[in-house]
Structure 1
């Protein structure tokens, strides 16, 4: 029996799917960098990885071999936030480029989560025990040191005390009724986020930008990735279906909305989408 070998280049979505298939082997930085291929189709992700490897080598040369974790952390923060000048894009926070790591490397500007993903890759190269944190409204970094834990705001490089974190949480807690008897400790908001959770948050940031701008084609590209990343997140099928409907592609809209209705738990939401489905089916026929 003869076998045919396929040497064709995978599509950007196929490449992303191969990276996020296995939680234990998921390469966060590479998968995050590959998101930009939707906007930059000629992007060489391996070149981006190579550029960051060079940054790791540079910061490593600044650390004595016997440097402790705290010293390595100080060296990294000096290198990243001061010498390289990375920081938050305060002038154009909702620019999609803030979520594309190739653009962040070029402009040295990003949003908390994209800056954190880059910082974490450098921290890993220095052997620091650092993780991303899905803090409400603002992604954070936490670093475990021999004498305790440090929490850093990747937007500014500022180290945050427990009081700082509590103050930042207050508006979120009030909005969600998490006060008095329903209050919970700050530590519960500092759980480490998995690579899959970080990628989902990055994509949902882009999703919100595209939805606000009614950029349905770009939104659908993001939804494709979210569905690959989170195949059981049925609301993502709903949102992709509604975007297809906005574009006038009723067949794809119906397929996605039927998938949502079949699996959705919320009866109220399911009922609203069933009404929309009836309208779309009538338009199709």
Structure 2
């Protein structure tokens, strides 16, 4: 029999502060959309068990980098967590239950596992919504240590970070101030939004409009003013023939971003929809 772990109500999330959102539970909530029979308590217990194993191994008196090195050795070498380089776009890489079961993920899902385990050990590991590739950071006495969970948690130098950022900054390398800004800690809301955006993009590329609509809907539960989610849910509804929903969502998108680059295309879609009879969604 599955054990019970109550998960949050999607409709309550918008009222919570960015860091009041329970990261693990909402990651499991996202997974439950795809896996309705998911045993949330079992996955939370598995992470807790890994943390307890580490608690018995890691000397609490050791410095933070030494303790984190042991955490990474356990997660990425002993347990075998790894970045899925062979099938990066497999949606399973974004669902926490599959990541825990298969030991494969993308940067943000592996970061979540790493952060949830270290949190139970009192290590202040933080997410970094780095452009293109999610990272984690650990505050240390003389600054911050940046780590790459997709590559077995290895440290990333400031120079490598600058090189990685260049393609996302118009070809310009960030100076120290810009780099520190990019490396700011990501809130729980930022992480969860990024996870859902990743999934939405994967399903959009596959033409899986039901799941695009679902991901966009979940994004709006977390961030009701996220314009792109209104647009993408509206476009998914359009593909699915849900005329009324498409009209409402695309109209809301234009209210939020009337000068968007794609505003004219969205207006054209609304004109087309105006001549179609609505049906129940």
Q: When the two structures are superposed, what TM-score results if normalisation uses the length of structure 1?
A: 0.88
SS at match of 2:155: strand
Per-residue deviation, 1:78? 1.0
Listed as ranges, the matches of 1:63-102 within 5 Å are 63-102=58-97
What residue is the counterpart of 1:6 in the other structure? none
What residue is the counterpart of 1:128 in the other structure? 123
What residue is the counterpart of 2:219 in the other structure? 226
Q: When the two structures are superposed, what TM-score results if normalisation uses the length of structure 2?
A: 0.90
Residues 183 and 73 of structure 1: is their aligned pair in 2 closer, same or farther, counting only changes over 3 Å? closer
Correspondence 1:202 to 2:198: no
Per-residue deviation, 1:19? 5.0
Correspondence 1:22 to 2:25: no
Q: Distance in 1 between matches of 2:215 and 2:43?
A: 21
Residues 129 and 263 of structure 1: is their aligned pair in 2 closer, same or farther, counting only changes over 3 Å? same
Per-residue deviation, 1:177? 5.1
Per-residue deviation, 1:111? 0.1
SS at match of 2:221: helix
Per-residue deviation, 1:254? 1.1
Residues 216 and 142 of structure 1: is their aligned pair in 2 closer, same or farther, counting only changes over 3 Å? same
What residue is the counterpart of 2:46 in the other structure? 51
SS at match of 1:26: coil
Q: Distance in 2 between matches of 1:229 and 1:98?
A: 21
Q: Distance in 2 between matches of 1:26 and 1:247?
A: 31
Per-residue deviation, 1:268? 5.2
Task: Extract unaligned runs of 5+ from structure 1.
Answer: 1-8
Listed as ranges, the matches of 1:233-252 within 5 Å are 233-252=226-245
Q: Distance in 1 between matches of 2:218 and 2:38?
A: 17
Contact between 2:137 and 2:147, CA under 8 Å: does it hold in 1?
yes
Once structures 1 and 2 are overlaid, which stretch shifts more, 17-26 or 275-284? 17-26
SS at match of 1:25: coil
Task: Extract unaligned runs of 5+ from structure 2.
Answer: none
What residue is the counterpart of 2:248 in the other structure? 255
Per-residue deviation, 1:187? 1.8
Per-residue deviation, 1:276? 1.0
SS at match of 1:129: coil
Contact between 1:88 and 1:110, CA under 8 Å: does it hold in 2?
yes
SS at match of 1:284: coil
Correspondence 1:168 to 2:161: no
Aligned residues: 272
Residues 187 and 268 of structure 1: is their aligned pair in 2 closer, same or farther, counting only changes over 3 Å? closer
Contact between 1:178 and 1:184, CA under 8 Å: does it hold in 2?
no
Q: Distance in 1 between matches of 2:33 and 2:75?
A: 27
Residues 102 and 186 of structure 1: is their aligned pair in 2 closer, same or farther, counting only changes over 3 Å? same
Per-residue deviation, 1:183? 9.5
What residue is the counterpart of 1:4 in the other structure? none
Per-residue deviation, 1:238? 1.2
Q: Distance in 2 between matches of 1:119 and 1:37?
A: 21
Measured on the aligned residues, the alpha-carbon RMSD in Å equals: 2.3
Q: Distance in 2 between matches of 1:57 and 1:255?
A: 49
Q: Distance in 2 between matches of 1:152 and 1:177?
A: 23
